[in-house]
Amino acid sequence: MQISAAWRLIARVFLPFAAGYYLSYLFRTINALISGHLISDTGLGTADLGLLTSVYFLVFAAAQIPIGILLDRFGPRRVQSALLLVAAAGAGLFAMSTGLPSLLISRAMIGLGVAAALTAGLKSIVLWFPRERVALLNGYMIMLGSFGAVTATTPTEYLLAWIGWRQLFEILAAVTGATAVLIYIVVPERVITPSIGSIPATLSSVFGDRRFWRIAPLSATCVGSAWSLQGLWAVPWLADVERLGREGLVGQLFIMSIVLCGGAWLFGTTVHFIRRRGVGAETILAVVAMFFIAAELALILRAPLPSILPWSVVAIVGTATVVSFAVTADYFPPELAGRANGAVNVLHFGWAFLAQYGTGLILEQWSTNDGHRAILAYQVAFGVNVALQIGALVWFALPSSLRSFTGWMGSIAFFAPVSVAEAVEPVVPYEQAIVLIPMDGDAEW
């Protein structure tokens, strides 16, 4: 690829989708900062707040499979621009909402509207850039998008000092709508022609692959829990357990967000280089899971460490999607990229919903004392997550013979017919044998 053509692709393909993912991350994490305002203005309880924040993940997860199919069928440009208009409408409605029902509806609209933000960006990378650059560019995509989490800390805190949270969401609605128009106008189309003998572009090809079911539970329980913690429950922990004031709390969230961005770059770069040495991305995922479990245990057991250290590990794990998507890029060809990434995201966001809402339900079993909940409440809630992550890690480490039935799990769960050959034999990693046809002459291969 010539340098000038590469920079045109960065400007016309990579950056517009990165902007969409930035907004997705901002919407995902902003409730942690405005939770106090929501409680005081609308009278929400702890469980209500958990449900309101986590409904984003529920809708996001439910939309991943249909969106994956739409991305493979219509391309990321049209799907992303249309859905971002839904997110803009949801943000506008959120700004006007006064009670839990309308807040839930608008939050669900936001979740649906940004549900394609990451997978559309990853699909565009697979379509437009060489395969050996996919993991690196995925890391940069998630790194840039993660600046949305940075924006949802100190910058938003300063902004809230000038305007209310309702005016903030009005601004977000306008910016989201403008990004939708930008993507539709600027991003070119791309046609992909599958190679002869490639596997059919069906969901059964993804859910019938035993390798997928090896890494998916581990990735979901770790990444989903990290999103749940940073997106909401880090704030009550820091206030109730660490007894931080508002300034210290926002400062720690800001540090976590900066670490989050660095983690995306670190994972993308690491996967890019270790692949050249024949090391699989699955190994990185297992190591990340062990560090994550250790960090959570340090919080639960109140290890004599500065709390920013384990919370920084939690933040970094939120970007381990770079590793997960690198694994699926190895498992499946580009014509299945939308479905494969969507399948992984179903589990990521589905688990984030369960972890976020479930944590709220557990915490509410303890009453507050002087406005603070007991440490034991958080230890129990976080401990349940850790136990399930350890189970997923054990599952990952089991011999393949003990996981042989999982090829049938996808077909049963998603009512997709899977042939015996698909269920028993994993899909062979593809070779780069497809034809990418530029529509406007911008790219040279």
Using one digit for the tens of pLDDT, what is the confidence trace for 44-60? Answer: 777 787 788 778 888 88
Q: Note whether residue 92 is domain-resident.
A: yes
Task: Show the domain range for 296.
Answer: 3-438
Per the structure, how many domains does the chain have? 1
Q: Note whether residue 144 is domain-resident.
A: yes
Q: Which residues does the chain have with pLDDT short of 50? A: 196, 405-445
pLDDT (0 to 100) of residue 422: 35
pLDDT (0 to 100) of residue 202: 67
Using one digit for the tens of pLDDT, what is the confidence trace for 85-130? Answer: 999 999 999 999 888 888 899 999 999 999 999 889 988 888 888 8
Task: Determine the residue type at 428.
Answer: V
The CA distance from 169 to 90, in Å, is: 9
Q: Note whether residue 404 is domain-resident.
A: yes
Q: Note whether residue 443 is domain-resident.
A: no
Q: Note whether residue 131 is domain-resident.
A: yes
- Three-state SS letters, the chain: CCHHHHHHHHHHHHHHHHHHHHHHHHHHHHHHHHHHHHHHHHCCCHHHHHHHHHHHHHHHHHHHHHHHHHHHHHCHHHHHHHHHHHHHHHHHHHHHCCCHHHHHHHHHHHHHHCCCHHHHHHHHHHHHCCHHHHHHHHHHHHHHHHHHHHHCCHHHHHHHCCCCHHHHHHHHHHHHHHHHHHHHHHCCCEEEECCCCCCCCCHHHHHCCHHHHHHHHHHHHHHHHHHHHHHHHHHHHHHHCCCCCHHHHHHHHHHHHHHHHHHHHHHHHHHHHHHCCCCCHHHHHHHHHHHHHHHHHHHHCCCCCCCHHHHHHHHHHCCCHHHHHHHHHHHCCHHHHHHHHHHHHHHHHHHHHHHHHHHHHHHCCCCCECCECCHHHHHHHHHHHHHHHHHHHHHHHCCHHHHHHHHHHHHHHHCCCCCHHHHHCCCCCCCCCCEEEECCCCCCC
Q: Note whether residue 296 is domain-resident.
A: yes
Q: Note whether residue 413 is domain-resident.
A: yes
β-partners of residue 369 are 372
Q: Note whether residue 87 is domain-resident.
A: yes
CATH number at residue 85: 1.20.1250.20
pLDDT (0 to 100) of residue 331: 82
